[in-house]
Structure 1
């Protein structure tokens, strides 16, 4: 039987809230998520939470083990290196296929970057993460390579819990805005080679930052949720 609009809305809201908790590190990699506790935390019934967890598991954001339940996906450093290698390969293809962007499209990218700066000034990591995704996928979608872009979306989701680590540093937030501006300038010139190079430099910040955060470790530490 089809879900009611309110039920579907509750599921979407639960997905968004759990994703936010992961982004701002309220839920950490490896942390177990109990349906009853999460339903209480979100003030909803268990049904939308159960569906939301299933959706996030299908996207690779969560893991599921029978008789154990759901937990935030925990990646090794090797996993992250592979994810960023896949991003590099696919994003280069997408950027190479970009058409010449219109003045209106370029203005929209600049507007997104202005909002990222404003969020950065407020140290609003959640908004920065969302707008950063908007910035890059606005560019990717203009390529017309929808299947590849959908795969990129999946890969980005896999690393959601890790990509926000460097956003807590003011210097990193300023660097993001500066690098986005350089990418827009290259797009305005129609210089795809420069966009590829700038994007490679921009993307490389996260793996190198994680190596600094977890020196000598091949797996980030996890935290188990407290019993509710």
Structure 2
């Protein structure tokens, strides 16, 4: 019978819309750090079923904006300035070593990096925050993977995951055109086989990201967070 058929899975578009709405509420401090997400209440508030909501909660957990506790549910993640500083200090060491030991990319690899960056720029223009964040990480991973230092690479990927919620603060509060321009400078330095320039531009890029996230986080802690852009 038709009533016995299992519910169809939610579309990617419907889940993405819920992710965007919840992400905005978290970054705007409508949902406060440590606050539990009561699924039935949230689904009613958003006017949706619990199926796309559950999928959205899983996505936001992978981004680090939510945490999941067995038998308790989902909670808004706690973010702190000190945690951000520690993560970036470790990333500075790891990323420097990866670039210092990286081989030079060939023409095909350089073209792929430029394509990823151009796709990221387009995603920024249409306001797709999740795609901007995903493509940004993909680009950096491709560059860092040019190094043979597998342990450093694995640790850098781990700390990038830890930094996801802070990186989203930067993505949603700053002009992505600045980041894509810095990416182009890094790719140009790789194409020119200028390691010193590559390290310098990457350091500036990392500092820009850190300072943007620190500024946003400080405003959030003081209760003066501006509305996230998207």
State the TM-score, normalized to the length of structure 1: 0.71
Deviation (angstroms), 1:36: 5.9
How much does 1:162 deviate?
2.3
Moved more, 60-69 or 71-80: 60-69
Cα shift at 1:33: 3.2
Matches of 1:18 and 1:94 in 2, distance apart? 36
Matched-pair contact (CA < 8 Å) for 1:77–1:220: no
Deviation for aligned residue 1:159: 2.3
Q: Is the 8 A contact 1:119 1:125 kept in 2?
A: yes
Shift of 1:96: 1.1
1:149 aligned to 130, 153, 161, which one? 153
Q: Displacement of 1:62 after TM fit?
A: 4.4
Alignment of 1:1-228 (within 5 A): 20=19, 24-28=23-27, 30=33, 31-34=35-38, 52=58, 56=61, 62-64=66-68, 68-169=72-173, 172-215=175-218, 219=221
Contact 2:68 2:74 in 1 (8 A): yes
Distance, in Å, in 2 between the alignment partners of 1:137 and 1:23 is 27
Q: Return the alpha-carbon distance in structure 2 between the equivalents of residues 60 and 173 of structure 1.
A: 21
Structure 2: runs of 5 or more not aligned: 1-8, 224-230
Instruction: State the alpha-carbon separation in 1 of the partners of residues 21 and 185 from structure 2.
Output: 29
Q: Distance in 1 between matches of 2:69 and 2:120?
A: 37
TM-score (norm 2): 0.70
SS of structure 1 residue aligned to 2:147: coil
Q: Which runs of 5+ in 1 are unaligned?
A: 1-9, 222-228
Q: Describe the superposition over 1:12-68 as per-residue Cα deviations: whole angstroms up to 9, x where unpaired.
A: x8xx9699559943545724234666899885769x86x959xx58x9664455775
Question: Do the aligned partners of 2:169 and 2:217 also contact (CA within 8 Å) in 1?
Answer: no
CA distance in 2, matches of 1:18, 1:81: 31
Q: Which protein, 1 or 2, shows the higher relative CO under an 8 Å CA cutoff with sep ≥ 6?
A: 1
Alpha-carbon shift at residue 114 of structure 1 (Å): 1.0
